[in-house]
């Protein structure tokens, strides 16, 4: 066996030429990646590393090493605990609803229905329209004298101050769904169109119903897409501050006071230690969630194999 291997093995000069070519290709790839890598390091990695460093010091300039004192003070803060609980409550409530809604719309759009083209245009619009301009319309809808309260009063229902009561959570949830559902629908549609139609035809011949086909074929082949959609939905739920800020300002109702509100207020008061400590904790929690989801997906793939 070894004799035949050496007989058909490439000569030394061919291996050396192949190695030199791979080295040149690698050098060219790194050369093209260098500008992006430098920009990512300059605007993301280096500032984050400096933020981590500041979170362990007593002052932004000339401060001494304070250990975990900033984190202990942060965790003892009522406003931080309120912001953290609101953020995680919003993520836990919005992500499953986003997942179900986007998958349902994708299944609907994957079928031949009459208003299919209109729906496709409607879910793409939030991805291209500037959020700041559209949120003015949302403000007009949910204002005390807005369109929604006017419609409720016509039916004899009392007006609701949407942005100054517990109902503000539902307003932010609606804005979050409106802004992000289109992207998830596109991902699910791409996954659905990769499933061979032969599988469904075979399942129908064997007597499998629609629910069995959905559970045994659709969900199984959408596993990777579903994990990715869940990760993106979680990340987008942590970025809902922009919409909330434009709707309710610096200090909104307690039910929608998010971690980004807390960090924005710490930045306004130049409390850099609490700001950086809160940012590091939030990044750590997000990384733990994402890594946990990747580990879960890996175990699921091994189980299916």
The CATH number of the domain where 208 resides is what? 1.10.3720.10
Please give the Cα distance from 191 to 298 (Å, whole number).
Answer: 18
Question: Does 89 reside within a domain?
Answer: yes
Q: How many domains does the chain have?
A: 1
When pLDDT is averaged across residues 234-262 and rounded to a whole number, the result is: 84
Q: What is the structure's pLDDT at 99?
A: 92
Question: Does 287 reside within a domain?
Answer: yes
Q: What is the structure's pLDDT at 17?
A: 57
Q: What is the structure's pLDDT at 8?
A: 45
Cα 191–chain centre separation:
18
Task: Kindly indicate the confidence band of residue 175, based on its pLDDT and cuts at 50, 70 and 90.
Answer: confident
When pLDDT is averaged across residues 168-192 and rounded to a whole number, the result is: 87
Could you tell me the end-to-end alpha-carbon distance of the chain, in angstroms, rounded to an integer?
33
Domain limits for position 113: 75-304
By C-alpha distance, which of 294, 280, 242, 250 is closest to 131?
Answer: 242
Q: What is the structure's pLDDT at 12?
A: 59
Q: What is the structure's pLDDT at 115?
A: 64
Question: Does 36 reside within a domain?
Answer: no
**Residue 109 pLDDT > 70:** yes
**Residue 62 pLDDT > 70:** no
Question: Does 136 reside within a domain?
Answer: yes
When pLDDT is averaged across residues 82-86 and rounded to a whole number, the result is: 90
Question: Does 14 reside within a domain?
Answer: no
Question: Does 13 reside within a domain?
Answer: no
């Amino acid at each position: 066996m070894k004799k035949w291997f050496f007989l058909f093995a490439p000569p030394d000069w061919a291996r050396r030429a192949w190695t030199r070519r791979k080295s040149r290709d690698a050098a060219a790839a790194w050369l093209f990646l260098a500008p992006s890598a430098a920009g990512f390091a300059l605007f993301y990695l280096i500032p984050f590393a400096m933020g981590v460093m500041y979170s362990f010091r007593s002052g932004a300039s000339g401060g001494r090493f304070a250990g975990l004192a900033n984190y202990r003070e942060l965790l003892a803060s009522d406003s931080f605990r309120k912001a953290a609980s609101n953020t995680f409550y919003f993520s836990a409530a919005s992500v499953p609803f986003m997942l179900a809604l986007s998958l349902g719309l994708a299944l609907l759009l994957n079928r031949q229905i009459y208003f299919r083209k209109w729906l496709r245009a409607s879910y793409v619009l939030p991805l291209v329209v500037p959020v700041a301009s559209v949120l003015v319309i949302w403000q007009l809808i949910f204002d005390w004298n807005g369109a929604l309260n006017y419609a409720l009063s016509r039916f004899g229902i009392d007006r609701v101050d949407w942005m100054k009561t517990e109902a503000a959570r539902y307003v932010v949830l609606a804005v979050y769904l409106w802004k992000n559902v289109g992207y998830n629908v596109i991902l699910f549609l791409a996954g659905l169109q990769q499933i061979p139609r032969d599988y469904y035809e075979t399942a129908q011949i064997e007597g499998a119903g629609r629910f069995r086909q959905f559970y045994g074929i659709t969900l199984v082949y959408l596993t990777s897409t579903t994990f990715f959609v869940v990760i993106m939905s979680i990340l987008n739920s942590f970025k809902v501050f922009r919409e909330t800020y434009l709707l309710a300002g610096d200090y909104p109702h307690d039910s929608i006071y998010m971690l980004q509100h807390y960090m924005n207020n710490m930045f306004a008061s130049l409390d850099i230690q609490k700001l950086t400590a809160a940012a590091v904790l939030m990044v750590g929690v997000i990384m733990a969630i994402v890594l946990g989801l990747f580990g879960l997906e890996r175990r699921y793939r091994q189980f299916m194999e």
